[in-house]
Every structure is written in structure tokens, then in C-alpha cells.
Structure 1
């Protein structure tokens, strides 16, 4: 009986996210890193939610009775609360994984963030412009909504983008890319990135689920390939943050199923279909999927060409 338990104990020790073992088959290592992802994600969310609830009570508001701050304040708290996720992720990397931060993609090349942010703007402009050609998103003027709150929102999305990239690209992709095949590392990172979004996506009409999942996988591939090419996580952070900020705050379009907060450039959907992603937003659009696929292919070819030149 005891002997029969030995393989089970070894299996559990291997996949346990509470140690830094990595000498194991690829499938087990990927499982281990995904468990680490969810451990950090759930711990960070739990702590962040606890702080928000505590803050509400300190301000004399009972969330159990629906007593909340304004919608914009709650959104800002949600975004900046992801600082907790960043802290949990870094602490896990240092205390459990016991590796250097630059191995997580946190390098001194912070300038890569701005390159990624520029790419995010280009991708958003390309996707939205292509959808506008179909007539399902229309321009309806400008507004004078740019104020201090907008700057706070930018800061919030910078934090959010960094948190999600540290979890998906830092904790999962960077720890796998030199241990398993590159497609497996990219795929595991995409799974980690997509799964937390599935609850929201699956609450929308069935016809938007497949293109929504496809967009999640493709943009995750873009983030991973960008991390691979730049040897840093900063470019992926910049692209992620600027994509979300521009979509929600500059254009006022729906972001991953959440209504855009307000807009500097008023863009409105004129119909709900697969061209504009319906109520979920352009992240469930077949046109966005095509744009992201093109970006992923371009980054892959750039990476392969760079590797070929180095080996020559």
C-alpha cells in the first residue's frame, strides 16, 4: 500500500506550485506553472477585494447593502487594486521560484514599454478602421472629456496591463520558454491568459464565443512573441495597457464585455454582429481576429529571421 502511494506523492510534489522543481516531463511542468498562475491570481484577487471591502466599511459604506462608490471610482479601485496582483506575483517568483526578476522579463529596458504602447495604438487604429469600413462602427464626433480622471484611468490601465502580463507572460511563458517547446510555452501562456476571461465571454451570445476565444488566443500569442523578440516583458505591458486604455477611454467602445467609460473620440456601434463583436466589443470581432493574426505572423517571421541572422 505504501509503495503504491510513492508515485502519487512524487507526482503531487512535482506539480505542486509551492516548490521550484522543474526537472520533470513537459506536460507536468506546464501543469505546475498553470497551477502557480491560478494560485497567484486567486490570492491577489482575494487580497485586493478584501482591501476594497475594508475601504468601503471604513468610509461608512456597507457593500452587502449595495452601498458603493460611484462607478468611475469603483473602476479605478479595481484597476489600481491590481498592484496587489503584481506584488503577489513578484513575491512568489522571488520566494518560491527563487529566480532573478530579469528571468521573469523585468529588465532595465523600460523603454520597450513605449514601443509596445505604440504598437497597441497602431493595432487599435487598424482594427477599428477596418471595422468602420463595414459600417458597423461609426464616428460621431469629439468630446471634451479629457481631465484628471482620464489620467488616473491611464495609470490604472498601466497597472492592469502590467499585472496581467506578469502573470501570463512572466510567471508562465518566461518560466517555460527554455524548458519546453516554444509552441507549448506560447500555448500555456495563452491558456492562462484566456481562462479568467471565459466567465464574462460565455455570458454573451453563443456566436461571439468562438471569435472571442480566438482573439484572446491571438493577442496572447502577440504578447508572447513580443516578449520573446524583445527579451523583456515591458513591450507586452505597454501594448496591453494602451490597447485597453484606447479602446475604453479614448474611443469609448466596449472592452471585454464592459461598457466603455467615456470617450475623447466618440465611436458608436450601429449594429450587433460578428464584424464589431456585438455587446462584447471588438475583441470578439472576426476583423480584429484577422488583424491580430497578421500581427502574430509578422512577429513570428521577425523572430525567425533574427534567429537565422544570428546563427549565420
Structure 2
């Protein structure tokens, strides 16, 4: 129990865990790829390399649990606990606004952070809050978050929260000379 609340109120133990994990992972991957495609079409990224070695595939598979834990930890704090707590004390709108704002504040230390990227992270936080509310469990949104970071850092090779995530299947870099709004608005940066 935390604050006299059973752990299930954080979103655990609801529904088919495996199905929720798979749906969240798929949705997170698709969301990141859509953001990636949009940033690419606006000229914000340039292709650097591809690595189809057996080593990279083994490496990528070994990273998935760690990205799930990392994303799940942030989701447990912002959506599992804070969203639910603020909503119960105030209302749903305040719960979404405050939890999404904290989610953005957690990224203040990112390398290259800007006001626009923080606004973008708030919007992603709102989307994740809505996903959590729709599914009524933490598993899907934790998986969505982990998939977003994994896809960004280790499939397309763009820095996650301003940090290189290690080896990746593909590698893209932000283009120099591209209008700042394209790069700074994108949640990829």
C-alpha cells in the first residue's frame, strides 16, 4: 500500500498483461516512426548508416527489457501515481495537465532541450495519459514508452533525451542548417 492505496490503483493487475504489453509496444513503435517520418519529410534528419549484422540483432533484443523498465518507471510515477492522485484530489483535466507537465520537467536536463521540445514532451505526456486512461492499466503505457525510446535510440539511431542510446540498426543525425522549428519542435530531439 502507498498512501493507503492498494498497488492495483497504480494500474497493475488489470486485464491481459501480455496483450497490453504487445499493444503498447506496437503503438509506441508506430508513434515514433510517424514522428520520425514527419521530421524526415521536413528535412530534419539525414541518413548515416545501416547495420544488419547478427550482433546488432542480438544486442537489440537484449535491450528491450531495459527500455521497458526505464519507460515503465517514468510512467509509474507520472501516470500510475501522479495522474491518479491529482485526478482524485482535483479533476481529470488537472491530473492530465500536472502529470504531463512533470513528465516534461523530468526532461529539463536533456542535452539540447528547448521550450518547443518541452511543449512537445507535454503533448506526448497528454497522449500517454489518454492511453493510460483508455486502457485502465500501466502495462500498455509503460510498453508504449519503452518502445518509443527503443525505436528512437536503437532502431533509427536518433539520440534519446539528448543521449546516444548505443548501437542501432539504422543511424540518422539531425541536419545542420535546417530551420530550427523543424528540429526543436520534434519530440525526437
| TM-score under structure 1 length normalisation | 0.54
Match of 1:255 among 160, 169, 184: 160
Match of 1:246 among 134, 140, 151: 151
Matching residue of 1:163: 73
Matching residue of 2:187: 283
- Segments of structure 1 that go 5 or more residues without pairing to the other structure are 1-93, 286-312
Q: What is the 5 A alignment of 1:166-181?
A: 166-181=76-91
Deviation, 1:170, is 1.1
CA distance in 1, matches of 2:182, 2:21: 30
| TM-score under structure 2 length normalisation | 0.86
Cα separation, partners in 2 of 1:153 and 1:239, compared to 1, 3 Å: same
Cα separation, partners in 2 of 1:140 and 1:196, compared to 1, 3 Å: closer
1:200 and 2:113 matched = no
Deviation, 1:258, is 0.7
CA distance in 1, matches of 2:13, 2:126: 21
Matching residue of 1:182: 92
Higher RCO (Cα < 8 Å, 6 or more apart): 2
Matching residue of 1:214: 119
Matching residue of 2:29: 121
Q: What is the 5 A alignment of 1:296-307?
A: none
Cα separation, partners in 2 of 1:194 and 1:270, compared to 1, 3 Å: closer
Deviation, 1:198, is 1.1
Larger Rg: 1
Is 1:269–1:276's contact at 8 Å kept on the other side of the alignment?
yes
CA distance in 2, matches of 1:193, 1:130: 23
Is 1:215–1:284's contact at 8 Å kept on the other side of the alignment?
no
- Segments of structure 2 that go 5 or more residues without pairing to the other structure are none
Is 2:114–2:184's contact at 8 Å kept on the other side of the alignment?
no
Task: Give the match's secondary structure for 1:198.
Answer: coil
CA distance in 1, matches of 2:143, 2:106: 20
Deviation, 1:228, is 0.8
- RMSD (Å), alpha carbons: 2.1
Deviation, 1:140, is 4.2
Matching residue of 2:5: 99
